[in-house]
């Protein structure tokens, strides 16, 4: 979250008044403008600090890398000892027919590096298995490792090396494992612990109108609707209309909130009755937002769960800043029942002065709660024998506090599973679920076909082909896998169809499948690196025959 | 196009196994493949020597689409784009380099793809889709759109639907349409007159934020209101004879300064250079990865349609990458009252005491029609015309008149607008 000198984040920029950084953007900011509007300068600096390893330099690898080099990751390495074949040059946009016979990593790096001068590309022509034997630390020196279409046994060894290379799950280098075959693909992950600092949730911040803060309540009560002329009446902001309406309803109902459907409708009618002409815009808005009067402000369940997690309750001096914030949040919530107020007021039909006035009320309240939150943060720091003077060095300064509060509702912490730990029963239950739902995507069926194909490859050292003999053997492998998970009887048609397609594909890396998967791999990589947006939890299965994707929970 | 010379294809050398990967899908059917699929040389010959495909747009999606098509074996590709390359394109439009800034996208993209993938012919056209007529579009087997404008998509869609001649199966040109915004996107297959068309789904588009003029002029509350004031009201007042160029940093600077001053006056915070540019250019965030996914989805469907090696998407794929990898594939239904492919008249319920102006306002607010500045006529009688100025002046008094004075219940109104690629017929339902 370190601020960079070269560009002010779009988000930061839009909440400050014209400051010296508001000059014309430089070339770099202009080049990255369309992405900075998504992940801001904090996300961009994380990308620029990232070093990514791709194991194998096939079409899916270079397609993924293209989407990471363009937005400006720091550095990447392609690990691949193989020479470019005619078939490679035919299905890979970042290889050329002139490079046939040259090393695939070197040729790939050459053509990818052209895309962005500020990215450092390295070709490593060593063999992955030899490197796992001689220098496993090589793999843990990266920010993220992505293995595409490598031998299943090597996938397991790589996953093991990353697990052994870290003392805690938090430090474990995340791994993405990708397999493609014709129109099919799967993307799996191994993560230790991943924290999302900003999920970019699309739900607007709550205004807590069901329990208006004192200054807002007082302000609303002071508005005397009857005394207003028709112009002013038509400019009372909907926020005030809702607070007033709920307030008077509660005064006549022993201070209770509306609970039943009938009560809520009655409340809405009370609001409607306040209209004078029937077409006041502010009332149109208020009616559309009426649900806010009876929707209780709550703490999102993901956050509630997170606050009781051991990593939060059992804070250590060495914990990353986010856990200090979460510990402070948990103390704050105990006192206040809410998340700290985010002072973002939506636009509403009213005059400039009233809007600014209202906005100042929200800002003042947010400021008060921010100070209260800082008190909680101080307590959290003292719990681990830290001192408040350390706050800046621990990344707990005022700027970081404000940023945390703004994104608090979107914080997530994922705990991953180790690669290869899925149980046969889990696959069978996912398969049964998709058969019962009858919905279009059938990820468990395609996943089963990938497993059977890997088993076949392990036995024969080659991909299955669309022959009767290979099909029969694939069916046998799939049956063995599923029977171990409790499946009884013949395999469903979704599975036999997927097996047929896997045999037809013969492990081919189709350019369009590679491009599509490359886009998804890059999206997920960006999410892991920036800690913004929510990455996949589980395995994503892509079926381009049905044009669907589905995510399995394991 | 003046002195811009067209790039030429690079002949492919002998290249055994070139299509080793793609051929696995063309040499054998899969369990879901249509029985009519003809495997092997016949389908390869069609794909690589006969099929002619048109790509609309050589931007974020277009660059990806062109590269994909070339690798998949489409060898006769045409591309249309009216834009030139800007520095902000370089974070995703990977066929362009800093040295190409200012050059036409279609031409640079065509040249790059031909040099990287020998044996592919890409014919660029640096201009507008509206420059071409039906006889031009008739030569293609398939059209893929990678556009960022609703208006261009509507025009292309209406043109392809209008070209369908039931007597001539060749006149049916599938249109594959892709679009992205941030981590989200969609790809769809439109079989004109058979599946739902682009116009059928207009109401699925996010409603564009339009700030009322009175807010901008009198009661600004957001920084965006101040920026709109500077661009919509101040610019024409100060520079009555100069058109604003949103690509010119000097113009943005001027708007930014005016908007900042107004914001300061009204105690509104948050006007920045970046926001100013975003508002006046209506910038949509765009990244390489999302474009890659959507373009690849479009090209997968083009390949399936051209070869029948697998069933094509029916008919809508929606991707949401913000929370995991989530996608939703569904059949978007045709709209019987679709003004392009439907045939049934659209009903327009109105109140008798409404003025014509109020009707026009209601019309422009309809999400399923999306028309700006419409002209209206009823039974050959002009009710209101936006242009030319003499006719506008003559019909202007009608705006104040009540609808009950102008039309009868059930009358059909014809709506035309420069942004509307067809004439729209509405049936007025007069209510008390």
Say whether both A101 and A130 belong to one domain: yes
Question: CA–CA separation, B52 vs B185, rounded Å?
Answer: 26
pLDDT band at residue B4 using 50, 70 and 90 as cut-offs: low
The whole-angstrom distance between B301's CA and the closest CA on chain A is 8
Same domain, A286 and A308: no
pLDDT at A90 over 50: yes
Work out the pLDDT band at B432, boundaries 50, 70, 90: confident
Of the options 3.10.290.20, 3.90.950.10, 3.10.20.340, 2.40.10.220, the CATH number for the domain spanning B346-430: 3.10.290.20
Looking at the fold, whether A183 and A38 belong to one and the same domain comes out as yes
pLDDT score of A206:
86
Strands A120-124, A144-148: pairing is unpaired
CB B247 within 8 A of CB B86: yes
Q: What is the pLDDT of residues A448-501, one digit of tens each?
A: 999 999 999 999 999 999 999 999 999 999 999 999 999 999 999 999 999 999
Nearest to B285 among A37, A59, A509 (CB): A37
CB pairs under 8 A between A and B: 277
Determine, yes or no, domain membership for A182.
Answer: yes
Tell me, what's the pLDDT at A22?
Answer: 58
**Can you give the residue range of the structural domain that contains A330?**
301-409
Mean local confidence (pLDDT), A354-370: 96
CA A390 to CA A381: how far, in whole Å? Answer: 9
* Tokens (6 digits) for A424: 């046969």
Kindly list the catalytic residues of B: 214
The mean pLDDT value for B202-230 works out to 90
Task: Kindly state whether A474 is in contact with chain B, defined as any CB-CB distance less than 8 angstroms.
Answer: no
Check CB contact of B289 with chain A, cutoff 8 Å: yes
Percent of chain B at pLDDT > 90 equals: 87
N-term to C-term CA, chain B: 57
Is there a domain that residue A12 lies in?
A: no
CATH number, position A51: 3.40.50.720
Where in chain B is CATH 1.10.10.520? 213-281
ipTM, 2 decimals?
Answer: 0.94
Confidence at residue B205, expressed as pLDDT on a 0 to 100 scale: 83
In terms of average pLDDT, the best of A238-242, A340-344, A407-411, B363-367 is: A238-242
For residue B258, the distance in angstroms to the closest alpha carbon of chain A comes to: 12
pLDDT reading at A3 higher than 50: no
Residue A318 lies in a domain: yes
Structure confidence at residue B207 (pLDDT) = 73
Q: Which of A262, A293, A324 is the last residue in one of the domains? A: A293
3-class SS of residue A17: coil
Please tell me the least confidently modeled range out of A133-142, B108-117, B257-266, B376-385: B376-385
Mean of the per-residue pLDDT values for chain B? 94
A5 pLDDT band, cuts 50/70/90, is very low
**What's the structural domain count of chain A?**
4
pLDDT digits (tens, 9 = 90+) for A165-191: 998 888 999 999 999 999 999 999 999
pLDDT(A374) > 80: yes
Residues A359 and A482 in one domain: no
Residue A21 scores a pLDDT above 90: no
Q: At what angle do helices A152-164 and A443-460 cross, to 10 degrees?
A: 100
Contacts of B228 in chain A (CB under 8 A): none
- C-beta of residue A319 within 8 angstroms of C-beta of residue A170: no
Which residues of chain B neighbour A34 with C-beta distances below 8 Å?
88, 91-92, 283-287
* pLDDT confidence bin for A278, thresholds 50/70/90: confident
Section B348-352 average pLDDT: 91
Residues A369 and A287 in one domain: no
The reply to whether A271 and A384 lie within a common domain is no
Q: What is the pLDDT of residue B419?
A: 82
Q: What is the pLDDT of residues A520-547, one digit of tens each?
A: 999 999 999 999 999 998 999 999 999 9
CATH class of the B213-281 domain in this structure: mainly alpha
Degrees, nearest 5: CA angle A238-A241-A243? 110
Helix (H, G, I), strand (E, B) or coil at B239: coil
Reported as a single tens digit per residue, the pLDDT across B123-171 is: 999 999 999 999 999 999 999 999 999 999 999 999 999 999 999 999 9
Chain centroid to CA B356: how far? 30
User: A103 in a domain, yes or no?
Assistant: yes
* Confidence band, pLDDT 50/70/90 cuts, at residue A19: very low
Which tens digit of pLDDT belongs to each residue from B24-37? Answer: 999 999 999 999 99
Residue A42 belongs to a domain: yes
Using the 3D structure, point to which of A271, A293, A315 is the last residue of a domain: A293
- Digit-coded pLDDT (tens) for A99-131: 999 999 999 999 999 999 999 999 999 999 999
Residue B206's pLDDT band (cuts 50, 70, 90):
confident
Q: A137 and A102, same structural domain?
A: yes
Mutating which of A98, A515, A550 best tests the B interface, going by the most B Cβ atoms within 10 A? A515
B276 touches A: beta carbon within 8 Å: no
End residue of a domain, out of A409, A441, A458: A409
Q: How confident is the model at residue B2 (pLDDT cuts 50, 70, 90)?
A: very low
CB proximity B144 to A under 8 Å: no
Q: What is the pLDDT of residue A437?
A: 87
Mark whether A152 and A185 lie in a shared domain: yes
- Residue A57 inside a domain? The answer is yes
Q: Are residues A492 and A539 in the same domain?
A: no
Does domain B19-205+286-330 fall under CATH 3.40.50.720? My reply is yes
Confidence at B414, pLDDT banded by 50, 70, 90: very high
Q: Is B81 helix (H, G, I), strand (E, B) or coil?
A: strand
Distance from the first to the final alpha carbon of chain A: 31
The beta-carbon neighbor of A516 closest among B271, B297, B313 is: B297
Q: Answer yes or no: is pLDDT of A6 > 70.
A: no
% pLDDT > 70, chain B: 99
pLDDT mean over B244-256:
94
Pick the residue from chain A with its C-alpha nearest to B92. A70
**With 50 as the cut, is the pLDDT of residue A2 above it?**
no
With 50 as the cut, is the pLDDT of residue A438 above it? yes
Shared domain check, A221 and A184? no
- Which strands sit side by side in the sheet containing B326-330, from one edge to the other? B121-126, B76-81, B52-56, B142-146, B175-181, B184-190, B316-320, B326-330
Comparing CA positions, the residue from B233, B257, B253, B231 lying closest to residue B244 is B231
Phi-psi region of A385 (alpha: psi -120 to 50; beta: other; left: phi over 0): left
Mean pLDDT, to the nearest integer, of A135-139? 97
The whole-model pTM stands at 0.93
- Residue A23 banded pLDDT, cuts 50, 70, 90: confident
Q: Do B22 and A510 touch (CB under 8 A)?
A: yes
Alpha helix ranges (H) inside B15-86: 20-26, 41-45, 60-72
Same domain for A364 and A494?
no
Chain A residues whose beta carbon lies within 8 Å of the beta carbon of residue B25 = 182-183, 504-505, 508, 510
Residue A15 lies in a domain: no
Residue B84, φ and ψ in degrees, nearest 5: -110, 165
Both tokens of A346, joined, read 């939506």
Q: Is residue A13 part of a domain?
A: no
pLDDT tens digit sequence for A285-297: 999 999 999 999 9
pLDDT by residue (tens digit) across A199-245?
998 887 889 999 999 999 999 999 999 999 999 999 999 999 999 99
Q: Which residue intervals of chain B bear CATH 3.10.290.20? A: 346-430
Q: Do A264 and A150 share a structural domain?
A: no
What is the distance in angstroms between the Cα of B262 and the nearest Cα belonging to chain A? 12
Confidence (pLDDT) at B380? 84
């Amino acid at each position: 979250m370190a601020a960079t000198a070269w560009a002010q984040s779009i988000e930061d920029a839009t909440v400050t008044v014209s400051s010296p950084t508001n000059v014309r953007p430089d070339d770099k900011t202009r080049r990255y403008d369309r992405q900075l509007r998504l992940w801001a300068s904090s996300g961009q600096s994380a990308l620029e600090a990232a070093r990514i390893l791709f194991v194998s330099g096939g079409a899916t690898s270079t397609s993924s890398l293209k989407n990471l080099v363009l937005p400006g990751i720091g550095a990447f390495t392609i690990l691949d000892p193989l020479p470019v074949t005619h078939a490679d040059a035919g299905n890979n946009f970042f290889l050329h027919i002139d490079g046939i016979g040259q090393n695939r990593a070197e040729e790939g790096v050459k053509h990818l590096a052209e895309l962005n001068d500020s990215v450092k590309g390295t070709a490593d022509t060593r063999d992955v298995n030899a490197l796992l034997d001689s220098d496993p630390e090589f793999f843990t020196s990266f920010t993220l490792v992505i293995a595409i279409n490598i031998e299943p046994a090597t996938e397991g060894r790589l996953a093991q090396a990353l697990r052994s290379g870290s003392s805690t799950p938090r430090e474990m280098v995340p791994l993405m494992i990708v397999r493609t075959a014709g129109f099919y693909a799967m993307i799996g992950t191994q993560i230790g612990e991943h924290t999302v600092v900003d999920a970019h949730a699309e739900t607007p911040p709550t205004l807590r109108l069901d329990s208006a803060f004192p200054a807002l309540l007082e302000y609303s009560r002071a508005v005397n609707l009857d005394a207003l002329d028709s112009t002013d009446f038509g400019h009372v902001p909907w926020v005030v209309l809702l607070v007033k309406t709920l307030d008077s309803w509660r005064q006549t109902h022993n201070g209770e909130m509306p609970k039943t459907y009938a009560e809520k409708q009655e409340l809405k009618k009370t609001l409607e009755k306040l209209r004078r002409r029937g077409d006041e815009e502010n009332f149109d808005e208020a009616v559309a937002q009426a649900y806010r009067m009876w929707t209780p402000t709550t703490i999102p369940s993901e956050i509630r769960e997170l606050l009781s997690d051991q990593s939060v309750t059992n804070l250590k001096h060495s914990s990353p800043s986010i856990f200090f914030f979460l510990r402070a949040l948990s103390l704050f919530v105990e006192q206040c029942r809410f998340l700290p107020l985010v002072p973002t007021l939506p636009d509403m039909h009213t005059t400039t002065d009233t809007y600014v006035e209202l906005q100042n009320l929200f800002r003042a309240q947010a400021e008060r709660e921010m100070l209260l939150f800082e008190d909680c943060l101080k307590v959290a720091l003292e719990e681990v024998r830290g001192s408040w003077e350390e706050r800046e060095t621990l990344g707990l300064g005022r700027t970081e506090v404000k940023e945390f509060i703004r994104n608090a509702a979107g914080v997530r912490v994922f705990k991953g599973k180790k690669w290869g730990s899925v149980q046969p029963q889990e696959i069978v239950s996912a398969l049964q679920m998709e058969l019962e739902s009858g919905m279009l995507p059938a990820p468990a069926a395609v996943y089963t076909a990938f497993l059977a194909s890997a088993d076949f490859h392990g036995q024969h050292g080659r991909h299955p082909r669309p022959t009767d003999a290979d099909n029969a053997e694939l069916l046998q492998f799939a049956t063995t896998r599923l029977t171990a998970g409790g499946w009884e009887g013949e395999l469903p048609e979704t599975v036999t169809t997927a097996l047929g397609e896997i045999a037809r594909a013969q492990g081919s890396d189709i350019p369009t499948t590679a491009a599509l998967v490359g886009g998804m791999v890059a999206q997920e990589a960006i999410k892991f690196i920036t800690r913004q947006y929510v990455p996949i939890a589980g395995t994503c299965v892509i079926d381009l025959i049905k044009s669907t994707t589905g995510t399995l929970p394991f | 196009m003046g002195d811009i010379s067209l790039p030429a294809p690079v002949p492919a050398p002998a290249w055994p196994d070139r299509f080793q990967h793609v051929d696995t899908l063309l040499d054998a059917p899969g369990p879901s493949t249509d029985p009519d699929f003809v495997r092997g040389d016949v389908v390869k010959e069609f794909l690589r020597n006969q099929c002619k495909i048109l790509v609309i747009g050589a931007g974020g999606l277009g660059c990806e689409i062109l590269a994909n098509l070339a690798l998949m074996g489409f060898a006769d590709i045409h591309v249309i784009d009216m834009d030139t390359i800007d520095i902000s394109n370089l974070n995703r439009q990977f066929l362009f380099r800093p040295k190409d800034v200012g050059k036409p996208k279609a031409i640079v993209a065509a040249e790059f793809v031909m040099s990287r993938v020998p044996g592919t012919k890409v014919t660029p056209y640096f201009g507008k889709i509206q420059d071409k007529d039906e006889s031009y579009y008739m030569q293609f087997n398939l059209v893929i759109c990678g556009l960022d404008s609703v208006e261009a998509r509507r025009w292309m869609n209406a043109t392809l639907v209008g070209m369908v001649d039931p007597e001539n199966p060749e006149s049916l040109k599938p249109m594959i349409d892709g679009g992205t915004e941030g981590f989200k996107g969609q790809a769809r297959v439109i079989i004109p007159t058979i599946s739902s068309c682009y116009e059928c789904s207009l109401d699925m588009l996010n409603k564009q934020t339009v700030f009322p003029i009175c807010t901008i002029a009198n009661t600004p509350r957001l920084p965006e209101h101040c920026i709109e004031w500077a661009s919509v009201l101040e610019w024409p007042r100060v520079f009555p004879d100069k058109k604003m160029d949103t690509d010119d940093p000097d113009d943005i600077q001027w708007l930014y300064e005016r908007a900042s001053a107004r914001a300061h006056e009204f105690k509104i915070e948050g006007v920045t250079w970046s926001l100013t540019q975003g508002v006046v250019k209506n910038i949509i965030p765009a990244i390489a990865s999302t474009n890659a996914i959507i373009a690849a989805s479009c090209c997968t469907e083009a390949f399936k349609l051209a070869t029948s090696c697998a069933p094509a998407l029916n008919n809508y794929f929606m991707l949401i990458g913000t929370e995991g990898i989530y996608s939703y594939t569904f059949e978007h239904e045709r709209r019987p009252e679709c003004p392009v492919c439907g045939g049934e008249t659209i009903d327009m319920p109105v109140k008798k005491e409404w003025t014509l102006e109020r009707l026009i306002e209601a019309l422009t607010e309809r999400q399923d029609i999306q028309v700006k500045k419409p002209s209206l006529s009823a039974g050959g009688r002009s009710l209101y015309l936006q242009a030319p100025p003499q006719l506008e002046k003559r019909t202007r008094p009608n705006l104040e008149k009540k609808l009950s004075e102008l039309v009868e219940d059930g009358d059909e109104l014809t709506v035309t607008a420069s942004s509307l690629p067809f004439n729209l017929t509405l049936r007025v339902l007069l209510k008390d």
